[in-house]
Amino acid sequence: MNKKNLFLAIFIFILLAADFAGAANIALIVGLPNGTAIERCVNAEPNTDGYRIFQMSGIKSSWSYSVGLGHFLSAVEGYGSSASDGYWSFFIYDKNSQQWKVSPVGSDGGACWNGDYSSYSGHYCGVNGDIIGWVRTTWNSETFTPDSQPQFSEFQSICGLSITNVNAFVDGKKQGNLQEGDKISDAYPGSTMQFKVEVSNLFQSDKDIKINNAYLRIIVEGIDADEDFEVESDEFSIRQGASRKVKLSFNVPITAVEDSYNLLINVEGEGSDGVTYMDSKNLFLNVRKESHRLALLDFSPEKNASCNSRLVNADFRVANVGRNDESASISITSAGLGIIGGKTGISIPAESGENSIYSAQILLNFENATSGAYEISATVLYYDGKKQEVKSAEIIVENCSAQPQVAAEAPKEGSSQMVQERADAVPAQQPYAPIYPASTISQGSDAILTMLTVAVTLFVVLLGTLVIILIKKK
């Protein structure tokens, strides 16, 4: 690949990655004067202004514009505004107080608003999970508050694809029901991470929207030598009102240093209404190092001990994920066989990356084993034998009792044994040879005569059948 194509590929990848990580769902509610409301889930880039979000919703509208102040909604689906019946007013749902608040800033114009309801600088900028609304309302002249506000709907009922439950397992230990901003603790470089994420389609039955081609992605920012680490699920679908449990697993990179990393869980899917829906949850993964800790990353023995060799190779990878250099030993055992292999005098430095990983191949001895399945355990002992890491595997020892035996010494010509073997010989078992012993010639001739007789008989029968067929045709 030339440099130009490589640059183009990298650029496209960055755009795709930014599109997924940066997209936001904003729930839009527009209350109409006839008492009904229009609801839309708008998928936009973060910080998209309110005017643009409304335009992206597809709702018919008209706007006025003031230099320096931005756009103001003047009509929705033919419903205008006037001093007598009120004006279209912009609201933002405040999650902290759980109530609608009149936006202190406009829908566009200026820089992004800071989210402080006592601040009047800038304009509204979209954030994933926001609920915004417009309604035509009159105002109380004394309190300068609106006489009405948009009706309220839960975000999930408008943007119905939702991450409803997250359970994390660090080296098998569960940390359940994780909420936005929670920390996942007790992870180390090399730790096995398992996530069980429940994804739900919360659309109401009157909308009957099915989510198709959905997938879950976990991103841990900057954990792999300052690069992001990503893992993604297969695609799945969720019908309206149903949930799916998605499992994702990975190992914390050995290059991870002690730190707290942003862990993003994103889900995205295509609605049967043609809209792309998504949801996300932001957690933190705390990675730390103990003074002394080794991780047995891999124990991969060959599957079988064959009859040709009762010696089996086993591959090992052991990483030092602690703060101190370690001296270690590996012992492989099996119930009933005892120690079948091992290695001592292993030194593993406490460094980041591949330098802190010890790799070896150890020979396992099954010469004293009978046939069958054997569970074997690899144990890494370190820190003066006070700590250990264990992994198990299974070896099949083949049954060699049915294997061909070495041929005995042939009897001498003329011996009683040779005479008996010739007398008991079966013609069909005789090897092909141009010359037969004298005692077997008559038997061979009889066999040939029998075969010729059968062949002639078959020929006569076939010839007779052919003659009968010809006569009938005439």
pLDDT tens track for 89-116: 999 999 999 999 999 999 998 899 999 9
Average pLDDT, the chain: 82
Q: Are 8 and 128 in a shared domain?
A: yes
Q: Are 55 and 35 in a shared domain?
A: yes
Is position 364 within any domain? Answer: yes
Residue 443 pLDDT greater than 50, yes or no: no
**Mean pLDDT within 376-384:** 93
Of 155, 174, 200, the residue that ends a domain is: 155
Q: Are 68 and 122 in a shared domain?
A: yes
Residue 223 pLDDT greater than 60, yes or no: yes
**Residue-level pLDDT at 345:** 93
Cβ contacts of residue 165 below 8 Å, gap of 6+?
177, 197, 198
Residue 315 pLDDT greater than 90, yes or no: yes
Is position 420 within any domain? Answer: no
Report how far Cα 189 is from the mean position of its chain's Cα atoms: 20
Q: Are 52 and 108 in contact (CB under 8 A)?
A: yes
* Number of domains within the chain: 3
Is position 442 within any domain? Answer: no
- Domain holding 128, by residue range, is 3-155
CATH of the domain at 215: 2.60.40.10
Q: Residue 11 has which token pair?
A: 């650029």
**Mean pLDDT within 177-190:** 91
Confidence tier at 464 by pLDDT (50, 70, 90): low
**Residue-level pLDDT at 254:** 85
**Residue-level pLDDT at 451:** 60
The whole-angstrom separation of Cα 169 and Cα 252 is: 12
**Residue-level pLDDT at 112:** 95
CATH of the domain at 59: 2.170.130.30
pLDDT digits (tens, 9 = 90+) for 20-33: 444 678 999 999 99
Of 106, 130, 155, the residue that ends a domain is: 155
pLDDT digits (tens, 9 = 90+) for 225-259: 889 999 999 999 999 989 999 999 999 998 888 89
pLDDT digits (tens, 9 = 90+) for 130-151: 999 999 999 998 888 899 999 9
**Mean pLDDT within 278-306:** 89
pLDDT digits (tens, 9 = 90+) for 421-432: 444 443 443 333
Residue 359 pLDDT greater than 60, yes or no: yes
Is position 80 within any domain? Answer: yes
**Residue-level pLDDT at 452:** 54
**Residue-level pLDDT at 470:** 63
Tokens 């509610």 -> residue: 29
Q: Are 27 and 116 in a shared domain?
A: yes
Is position 362 within any domain? Answer: yes
Of 155, 176, 201, the residue that ends a domain is: 155
**Residue-level pLDDT at 119:** 93
**Residue-level pLDDT at 333:** 95
**Residue-level pLDDT at 474:** 52
Is position 406 within any domain? Answer: no
Residue 321 pLDDT greater than 60, yes or no: yes
Confidence tier at 438 by pLDDT (50, 70, 90): very low
Residue by residue, DSSP assigns 80-144 as --BTTTBEEEEEEEETTTTEEEE-SSBSSSSSB--S-TT--SSB-B--TT-EEEEEEE-B-TTT-
Q: Are 140 and 249 in a shared domain?
A: no
Q: Are 234 and 360 in a shared domain?
A: no
